[in-house]
Chains A and B, each alone.
Chain A
Amino acid sequence: MSGRSDALIAYLLTVTQSRRHFTDFLFKTILAIVIVIIVSPFFLILIQVASIGFWQVFGNSPGQGIEFFTTFPGVGLEGGIRNAFVGTVELIVLASAVGIPLSVFGAVYITEYTEPGWGRSIVEFASDVMAGIPSIVFGAFGFAFLVDFLHLGIGIVAGGLTLAFMMIPTVLRTTQEALRAVPMSLREASLALGATKWSTTWNVTLRAAFPGLITGILLAIGRVMGETAPLIFTAGNSLSVPTELTGSGSWVASMPYTIWAYVSDPREYLQAKAHGTALALMIMVLTVDVVANIISRKVTRRLV
């Protein structure tokens, strides 16, 4: 202990000896404060959301805990958020069912079956541009194309498809990276044993790239789970779960939309429900994100 404080005193002495060393010390201290400022919003948000929403999600009294997710809002929105929870899950399932095959197969085609050239660059460029498009533009496009032009109407199909489009760039680019990281020798070994390109791709290349692929899929799911703007004009809102695929019975609520609706509502008790929903959404999104990170860390360590 005394050794450490001696070292500290010695350090402080060198720091005060010349102007340059003092600037160095000052610069480092300021940056340390800056990094604290950068990460502090995370804790501020977590504390704010948890301090009001905690008992909604983990409490035991009526309407709290598991009941919060299993009761419908009912009259005056005094119940739980089953509509939003089920709606979000259904939207994600639909979006994944369409978006993941589309982007994974697309990535497999351009990485495994095409030569590097303008065909590949076009697909890569398109997905890079798509990654930068604002979410509300996706919403407006979903409204113009799916709801209006294709006459799908507002509902779960239009909402799910809009989210599926938003998943494409993330999944496509991460799948591509994962496939590129697979050593060429694996493919060559399989082809040399007489396997066709198709079975090499499915049984060897994709299997080797699988952890990276899962990372991309989880990141994309985490991203679209919290999207509000694309759903406003495509999925609508509803106090119950969708019962049909088209028409007014297909309108579907989602957790982000519910947070927005409840926060902007003047009724006092809805604030707690909004915070509860936000806490639940945050837990879901962060879990997905952390799992994705763990998988990707494991993979990088194995490859290096």
Chain B
Amino acid sequence: MTETENQAIEHPTIEDKLHPLQRLKQRIKTPIIDFLDADRSGKTDMLGKVFLLVPAFASTLIIVLIFGFLWYESVPILTDPVGGPGIIISPTWDPNRDLYGIAIFIVGSLLCTVIAIGIAVPVGIGGAVFLSEFCPMRLRQPIKMITEMMAAIPSIVYGLWAYIVMVPYIKNVLAPALQSNPLTAWMPWFQGDTNGLSLIAGGVILAIMLLPTVVTITTDALQTVPRSLREASLALGATQSETARKIVISAALPGVGAAVVLSLGRAVGETMAVLMVTGNSLQIPYTLFDPTYVMTSIITNQLGYAFVFPLWRSALFAVGLVLMVMSICFTLTAKMFIRWGMKTRGYI
């Protein structure tokens, strides 16, 4: 007992007297000696710690690699005289004439996203309020299950449905109805002939795909609102709908914000469904029935044969870089909303 105590006291004093280089040697040698001295389970323990570091590092490395490779591949077009950073605002895409403006894709993506968010957010928040405040207990679980299943349906299946059902519907029913109805026929955004492959088809299918995300996250946010707030509002004589609209939603605002931003990110990055229904025509859409071209579609459609032309390929990777930067911004904003939400609940 006294021996070990003495060692414990003397040990640091010996180390202090050592030369720095020797101390370094000591520091490297000690774990090795410890390792050799250890029994079998001790060895596994020490090796395991080092071995686990590799996957933790690797999963972080991949994001660096993704960013690095997108940057490395887009550098040629961003430094070349025919391209330059100006391609982001230049509207003409014609690789045969060395014109690599990607603005139309950015505009197309943003328009599709605006339509989708414009539909999905109000509808989704309404659905979430119903689900969390008014829904009968028996129905709540099945509806939640269905929205979770909707989030799991592959985007190609949504695309198939939109292409087979929605596009002909827009062509044969919706467009003629809106254009012949005197109430809506004069509106500039309903003009133009259409074959159904249009901006609105892309926006609506995106909205349908976003709804489960918005509903699920908003419902979770609404359900974390303390019960006492609702009770206080009801006790003051407010009706249930007034409580839901004015108290619960405003208390859950950070969560609702996070839902909106996360679905924004998903809308901009959605590929297959949008690709199949927007018509992929190189023009800026002026009406809802015009075809459009979004950022994800141009990569999907052209990377396959563009990879032998350095500038063309590089321009496509520049589109990918823009997509990636946008998605990082959305993630950061969503994290900010979540932090804000935790602050209002007093978790931080």
Contact = CB atoms under 8 A, between A and B. Distances in A.
A108 B145 CA distance: 30
A298 interface: no
Nearest to A141: B66
Interface string A115-140: 00000001100111111111111111
B314 to A, nearest CB: 11
Contacts of B54: 105
A160 interface: no
A201 B45 CA distance: 10
A285 B164 contact: no
Interface string A1-43: 0000000000000000000110110011011101101110110
B160 interface: yes
Contact of A23 (B49, B127, B241, B304): B241
B149 A42 contact: yes
Interface in B298-313: 299-300, 303-304, 307
Given A126-B60, A137-B324, A233-B304, A259 B156 contact: yes
A79 interface: no
Nearest to B57: A106
Nearest to A130: B63
Decide if the interface of chain A is mainly helix, strand, loop or mixed: helix
A106 B55 contact: yes
Q: For this complex, into which size category does the number of interface residues on chain A fall? A: 35 or more
B44 interface: yes
B265 interface: yes
A49 B160 contact: yes
A41 B327 CA distance: 27
B299 A136 contact: yes
Given A199-B41, A227-B154, A133 B324 contact: yes
A77 interface: no
A83 B270 CA distance: 26
Interface string A244-281: 00000000000010011001100000010011001001
B59 A172 contact: yes
Nearest to A289: B152
Given A108-B52, A132-B327, A134-B296, A49 B154 contact: no
A144 interface: yes
B165 A44 contact: yes
Contacts of A109: 52-53, 55-56
A211 interface: no
Contacts of B262: 132
A23 B331 contact: no
Interface in B12-69: 41-42, 44-45, 48-49, 51-60, 62-66, 69
Contacts of A44: 161, 165
Interface stretch (B129-137, B171-179, B285-293): B129-137
B208 A137 contact: no
A58 interface: no
B155 A228 contact: yes
Q: For this complex, into which size category does the number of interface residues on chain B fall? A: 35 or more
B336 interface: no
A260 B316 contact: no
Contacts, number: 261
B69 A38 contact: no
B277 to A, nearest CB: 11
A282 B157 contact: yes
A286 B59 contact: no
A282 B154 contact: yes
B42 A38 contact: no
A226 B156 contact: yes
Interface in B188-236: 208, 211, 215
A106 B58 contact: yes
A299 interface: no
A223 interface: yes
Contact of A278 (B160, B276, B303): B160
A31 B134 contact: yes
A45 B59 contact: no
A102 B55 contact: yes
Interface of A: 20-21, 23-24, 27-28, 30-32, 34-35, 37-39, 41-42, 44-45, 48-49, 101-106, 108-110, 113, 122-123, 126-141, 143-145, 148-149, 165, 168, 172, 196-199, 201, 222-223, 225-229, 232-233, 256, 259-260, 263-264, 271, 274-275, 278, 281-282, 285-286, 288-290, 293
Closest 5 CB pairs of A and B: A226-B154, A134-B269, A31-B130, A27-B241, A196-B45
Given A225-B154, A290-B149, 7 more contacts: A32-B130, A35-B131, A37-B127, A41-B150, A122-B60, A132-B327, A201-B48
12 contacts: A41-B208, A45-B161, A49-B157, A110-B56, A113-B52, A140-B303, A141-B320, A199-B45, A233-B303, A260-B272, A282-B153, A282-B157
